[in-house]
Structure 1
């Protein structure tokens, strides 16, 4: 065999190995995508260990299962904040937020999607959306005005709910345009749009939201780039404030004062 043919054969073998490795990475991510996408591990804080003396534990039935959370009714003239948590751990670790809601007279309902620490089951987009609607409907049945707050992953189900129901307001904290957009930004060399099952197309749902929308994001966000929040706000049919906090990372906005933006927003919406 000539030198040229040996070189050509070596190149074809190398290309075949690279292609096999690339396909192997895609196959691995497809099979394990939900384990890679979600971070449900975490401790559940006991309600008794918080300052929420007036709140109660609730169990909302949905599709033969149940989602567990906490609920407290609002004071006179205030709404229930239905809070859709982010991707990591249990809703209960954010009890400081709920304590502040209650201190200012607001009611709240917060919960874990199925497969997260406080609620049994497995995680999927379909399950999260079903849980989100069931919890909203349970809260709406209490007879108070309703506002919706979605954080990070929760920006998907909160926007979906707002597109299907009619809350007074929708607050989106560090939202994504879609989950598949974030995945494509993180793995530009992979065909994520073709293989990703839980894509959460917020950009499609928000066009049907009739409530005013406030978007909050930080320029230092290393999980969901701030451009996502800017694009989501641009897509909202009924825009309210776009609060971009300089230097804030993904988990910084509560400490940076998001409640000082949320509270007047909800007052305007009512």
Structure 2
């Protein structure tokens, strides 16, 4: 017969072993989740699939297809020169589908006399290659520099993911204005808000630190965001705007989600903003 003391000692030992086993399983599970996120992070961060709408199927009858060498590949997009004396809007797209999906925006730009340049980063539907922060930034500078060679004043418009390359280009090049639609403070900030239990700062490769780049942006800045944005929380845009050295306008739309700002009238905010910037 076991004594009470021996039984008690056995119970403590068993409990300790069970606790250690549970902790090991939790650690292994957590490590598995972190490992999965690390090795699949770009598939989770980008949704670079979808059809490319042919230019001929749009109302952009005066635009042309362009192919620009960039890095180890080529970026493909559309360009239309502006009406005489008007600027060109360089449009940096978001993280899903093709730039061609937003042709109605470009049609509005053109109807108002603006030129535009829009394209897919490498790895997105119209531009073969590999997606990475470095490639996106390289492609974005390539597009800007090509547009600058055409001679018209340049305006930068970055939407969602595109707020990253747009802010970076604004910090590296001279444009007339920078418009940021549903921007993030940084991509790693959004990841941290979405996955607070993961060490995203340590493992995330494409962090797009807008909060650093914006400090070197000399252009006037307009930030647009919606209070019901569940993709990039509205405080990202508000905090980013607060860091801009040359802030012009912050436009916050009550009840607007991540993809609602065009329908909510962002062009009616953008056009006077661009006119103010061009008149300086």
- Tell me the distance in 1 between the aligned counterparts of 2:72 and 2:204: 26
Paired residue secondary structure (1:214)? strand
Paired residue secondary structure (2:126)? coil
Aligned residue number for residue 150 of structure 1:
158
Aligned pairs for 1:10-25 (under 5 A) are: 10-25=18-33
Aligned pairs for 1:107-186 (under 5 A) are: 107-186=115-194
CA displacement at 1:76 relative to structure 2: 2.1
Greater displacement, 176-185 / 69-78:
69-78
CA displacement at 1:187 relative to structure 2: 0.1
> Structure 2 unaligned runs (5+)?
1-8
Aligned residue number for residue 62 of structure 2:
54
Aligned residue number for residue 227 of structure 1:
235
Aligned residue number for residue 66 of structure 1:
74
Aligned pairs for 1:2-17 (under 5 A) are: 2-17=10-25
The structure with the largest alpha-carbon Rg is 2
After superposition, the C-alpha distances for 1:201-255 in whole angstroms (9 at most, x for unaligned) are 0000010000000000000001000000000110000001100000000000000
Aligned residue number for residue 79 of structure 1:
87
Paired residue secondary structure (2:180)? strand
Question: So what's the TM-score if we normalise by structure 2?
Answer: 0.96
Question: So what's the TM-score if we normalise by structure 1?
Answer: 0.99
- Tell me the distance in 1 between the aligned counterparts of 2:157 and 2:31: 39
Paired residue secondary structure (1:2)? helix
Paired residue secondary structure (1:180)? helix
Aligned residue number for residue 269 of structure 1:
277
Aligned pairs for 1:232-243 (under 5 A) are: 232-243=240-251
CA displacement at 1:56 relative to structure 2: 0.2
CA displacement at 1:8 relative to structure 2: 1.3
Aligned residues: 270
Aligned residue number for residue 202 of structure 1:
210
After superposition, the C-alpha distances for 1:127-151 in whole angstroms (9 at most, x for unaligned) are 0000000000000000000000000
After superposition, the C-alpha distances for 1:97-152 in whole angstroms (9 at most, x for unaligned) are 00000000000000000000000101000000000000000000000000000000
Paired residue secondary structure (1:81)? strand
Do residues 259 (structure 1) and 280 (structure 2) align?
A: no
Counterpart pick for 2:197 among 168, 189, 195: 189
After superposition, the C-alpha distances for 1:166-199 in whole angstroms (9 at most, x for unaligned) are 1000000000000000000000000000000000
Aligned residue number for residue 6 of structure 2:
none
After superposition, the C-alpha distances for 1:58-107 in whole angstroms (9 at most, x for unaligned) are 00111231000000001122110000000110000000000000000000
Aligned residue number for residue 224 of structure 2:
216
- Tell me the distance in 2 between the aligned counterparts of 1:227 and 1:76: 39
